[in-house]
Amino acid sequence: MRTPIIAGNWKMNNTIKEALELIEEIKIQNLNENVEAVVCTPFTALKDVKEAIKGTDIKLGAQNMHWEESGAYTGEISPMMLKEIGVDYCIIGHSERRQYFNETDETVNKKIKSALETGFLPIVCVGETLEEREAGKAEEIVKAQVINAFKDIPGNKIADIVIAYEPIWAIGTGKTASSSDADDMCGFIRKTIGEIYSENEKEIIRIQYGGSVKPSNVKELMEKSNIDGALVGGASLKGTDFVKLINF
């Protein structure tokens, strides 16, 4: 049985003050205990949000990290720094990082290994562009991203990794993949994990869908057998909406 995971990716939104107001809004509500709820805040808010969620079941995530433990990498944040704050998760390889900050399959692979070695769980993003989908290449692209991301990662680590399938054309556009298209691709990713590892890892791996998930479509998506959760941008910035997503 895979525990559903709903993660809010706040992206570059919320000052510390705004972050704490949002957390207050979320934590006063009754949250479904059978769903893992994660907030992935900007680096600047991580420490304060960690304090604010103490005593709740809400988990904390970062949105990116460097793979090295320390060194001359101006402007970067190391996995040890995130560990010190007490993050539970880190998003790795989000399409916005791939598109604007030269994230590659190779750096994604390094970051996954580094997060696992440091002691928190990666949420690994994969997904195709609209052009790739229209050219009938979606599966080929996503399969290559998965194979490269999981290079040299042992099967006994699969339970500690979450994959987020986010078709780039559905992010922040209001266009959601249909629940059956999203389920098909999450099933295809699951099959790929089965090919790399075995039937056991194929069943264990948790796969989220991301791209314009909102209270009105979350239930339909979550009912699909290959979708174990959602990585949510816009709708995670409103407390009432995020709570509705957790309580789908």
Ligand X SMILES: O=C[C@H](O)COP(=O)(O)O
Enzyme catalytic residues: 94, 166
Task: Using the minimum distance from each CB to ligand X, give the nearer residue, 6 or 146.
Answer: 6
Q: How far apart are CA 121 and CA 113, in angstroms?
A: 10
Choose the stretch contacting ligand X; rule: CB under 6 A; options: 106-114, 148-156, 191-199, 233-241.
233-241
Length of the chain: 248
Of the listed pieces 68-76, 97-105, 155-163, 225-233, which binds ligand X according to CB under 6 A? 225-233
Q: Give the integer Cα–Cα distance in Å for 3 and 121.
A: 14
192-215 burial, b for 16+ CB within 10 Å, e for fewer? bbeebbeeebbebbbbbbbbbbbb
User: Which residues does 49 contact at the CB level (< 8 Å), separation at least 6?
Assistant: 19, 20, 23, 39, 41, 60
234 scored as a contact of ligand X (CB under 6 A): yes
Per-residue x/- track, 4-23, ligand X (CB under 6 A)? -----x--------------
In angstroms, give the least distance from the CB of 122 to ligand X: 14
One of 64, 78, 179, 212 touching ligand X (CB under 6 A): 212
Find out whether 14 is annotated in a ligand binding site: no
122 binds ligand X (CB under 6 A): no
Q: Residue 53 or residue 164: which is nearer to ligand X going by CB?
A: 164
CB of 96 to ligand X, least distance (A): 7
- Are 49 and 41 spatial neighbours (Cβ–Cβ below 8 Å)? yes
Q: Is 163 in the site for ligand X (CB under 6 A)?
A: no
- Say how far apart CA 11 and CA 46 lie, in whole Å: 13
Residue of closest CB approach to ligand X: 233
Residue 194 CB contacts under 8 Å (≥ 6 apart), including other chains = 201, 202
Query: Per the annotation, does 71 bind a ligand?
Result: no
Q: Give residue 196's Cα distance to chain centre.
A: 21
How far apart are alpha carbons 246 and 236 in whole angstroms?
10
* Segment near ligand X (CB under 6 A); pick from 22-30, 138-146, 209-217, 219-227: 209-217
Which residues are annotated as part of the binding site for substrate? 9-11, 172, 212, 233-234
Q: Which residues bind ligand X (CB under 6 A)?
A: 9, 94, 166, 171-172, 210-213, 231-235
Which residues are annotated as part of the binding site? 9-11, 172, 212, 233-234
